[in-house]
Amino acid sequence: MKGFVPTPESVVDLMVERLFAGREPTAASSVLDPGCGRGEFIAGILRWCRHHRQVVPRIVGVESDPRHAMHSAGRFAQVPQVEIRQEDYLRATGLELHDYIVGNPPYVPITGLSVEERQFYRGLFETATGRFDLYQLFFERALSQLRPGGRLVFVTPEKYLYTESASELRRLLSGHHIHELHFLPERTFEPLVTYPLVTTVSARQPDEPTRIIRRDGRQSSVTLPAAASSWQGRLGEWRVTRDGSTLADACLRISCGVATGADDVFVHKVRDLPADLLPFAHPTIAGRDISGTSLPSLTSSILVPYDQRGALLSEAELGALGDFLRHGPRRSRLLARTCVSRKPWYAFHETPPLPLLRRPKLLCKDITRRPWFVIDDAGDVVPRHSVYYLVPLHADRLQALAEYLNSDASRDWLEAHCQRAANGFLRLQSQVLKRLPIPEELGGAIGAPVDAQLALQPG
């Protein structure tokens, strides 16, 4: 059984009102409830018909879980208009069209799907991209089953408004008329704390603005962008966490990169390095190398006189690197640095926390017009001083953290809180980055336990 969360009656009634508002069903209409569970929406439709003295339309409930399907079939056995199908909605073929579709599709993140399921869905659904969630696929399939002019009302997580993985869903939706986005209270599905959103959409060209009903009750009208970019900025509201989680809670380290005090001595094109120096060489990146939305291919290496644990090698251990650094002009250059009064002549200006640095992380230019965080998935890049790096507490949240940090909401916050460089560009600083509010699901309290030793490293 995947993603069973029954919908409270008050929410069902609100959604059924939206479903039939200004367009009442007739006996010839058909309503679909995909993932109908134990029939809360079907009961809601029957309630609505009784209350409004309307005939009951044909109602089809689809449910993959045999126990729920059997429960629903029994519950509505006396209502001839109701048909319960026990089948997998996402694998069903011969899809028919409906005038109305309503429901609470399952929320199942990609991590809850088997490899076979992921592959199958990726082959079948346009919205199965990135770290997709099952509700996106329900949305896609349901949109394709709406008759022209038909209406769909779904309650789902609000996340699809802004996550990168839902950009294809936003693109699909933007070809429809979205009447309303209604943000429901966080405790709607108590004891779960979720961020539910009721979306009301019609299968017709968008020709009016969308009504937004916020959690605090404020209402507004917005014209949503047709592009697949995040809609959150347009709605002017990113959900700020209730528990006040900040980026510091989600990261093992937030810092600017390695300062050698003599990059011209330590940094070289890989192709120029003799083979005996390669064991000391790590791919490296400077702020100026970050211009696109993903990690560029790196051609430079930094020679690192530290071991894997981050301890400075002794002169005896330096081997070929020692010979290289001792070479006349290089040694003079290193000795001219201010730090040599307190450190061995070949040490970096600041000791690099290598065990943390060489983990999957996000990288961003330290001074930039628009901050953009790129992903170092392999965790092998050693960022230099002009790059900020963020090591997430949980490597599996790297992508989600990048999506959030690259969202309009996060950028708006950085714009409002970062200092400016002389050219007006934003200057990232770790004490500011650490205060950035983050969505609760990216916070530190959930997920796999952290390597305690690493967590103790200074931030």
Ligand X SMILES: C[S@@+](CC[C@H](N)C(=O)[O-])C[C@H]1O[C@@H](n2cnc3c(N)ncnc32)[C@H](O)[C@@H]1O
In the complex, the residues that contact ligand X under the rule CB under 6 A are 1-7, 35-37, 40-41, 62-65, 68, 88-90, 103-104, 106
Judged by beta carbon, residue 119 or residue 299, the one nearer ligand X is: 119
Judged by beta carbon, residue 2 or residue 51, the one nearer ligand X is: 2
**Of 93, 102, 104, 114, nearest in space to 57 by CA:** 102
Judged by beta carbon, residue 67 or residue 435, the one nearer ligand X is: 67
What is the number of alpha carbons within 13 Å of residue 80 lying toward its C-beta?
2
Task: Please report how close the Cβ of residue 89 comes to ligand X at its closest, in angstroms.
Answer: 3
The number of angstroms, rounded, from the C-alpha of 301 to the middle of its chain's C-alpha atoms is 31
Task: Please report how close the Cβ of residue 134 comes to ligand X at its closest, in angstroms.
Answer: 6
**Of 253, 252, 254, 250, nearest in space to 447 by CA:** 250
Torsion over CA: 446, 450, 456, 459 (sign)? negative
Task: Please report how close the Cβ of residue 120 comes to ligand X at its closest, in angstroms.
Answer: 11
Task: Please report how close the Cβ of residue 373 comes to ligand X at its closest, in angstroms.
Answer: 32
Judged by beta carbon, residue 59 or residue 262, the one nearer ligand X is: 59
Task: Please report how close the Cβ of residue 24 comes to ligand X at its closest, in angstroms.
Answer: 22
Structure tokens at 347: 């040490």
Separation between Cα atoms, residue 35 and residue 37, nearest integer Å:
6
Judged by beta carbon, residue 81 or residue 430, the one nearer ligand X is: 81
Task: Please report how close the Cβ of residue 8 comes to ligand X at its closest, in angstroms.
Answer: 9
How many CB atoms within 10 Å of residue 236? 13
Write out 76-126 in H/E/C secondary structure: CCCCCCEEEEECCCCCCCCCCCEEEEEECCCCCEHHHCCHHHHHHHHHHCC
Task: Please report how close the Cβ of residue 78 comes to ligand X at its closest, in angstroms.
Answer: 20
Structure tokens at 91: 């694998």
**Of 371, 390, 401, 406, nearest in space to 287 by CA:** 371
Judged by beta carbon, residue 123 or residue 329, the one nearer ligand X is: 123
Judged by beta carbon, residue 41 or residue 348, the one nearer ligand X is: 41
Torsion over CA: 160, 238, 405, 187 (sign)? negative
- Cα of first residue to Cα of last residue in the chain, in angstroms, is 42
How many CB atoms within 10 Å of residue 11? 21
Judged by beta carbon, residue 196 or residue 287, the one nearer ligand X is: 196
Separation between Cα atoms, residue 105 and residue 155, nearest integer Å:
7
Task: Please report how close the Cβ of residue 63 comes to ligand X at its closest, in angstroms.
Answer: 5
Tokens 């990113």, residue located: 238
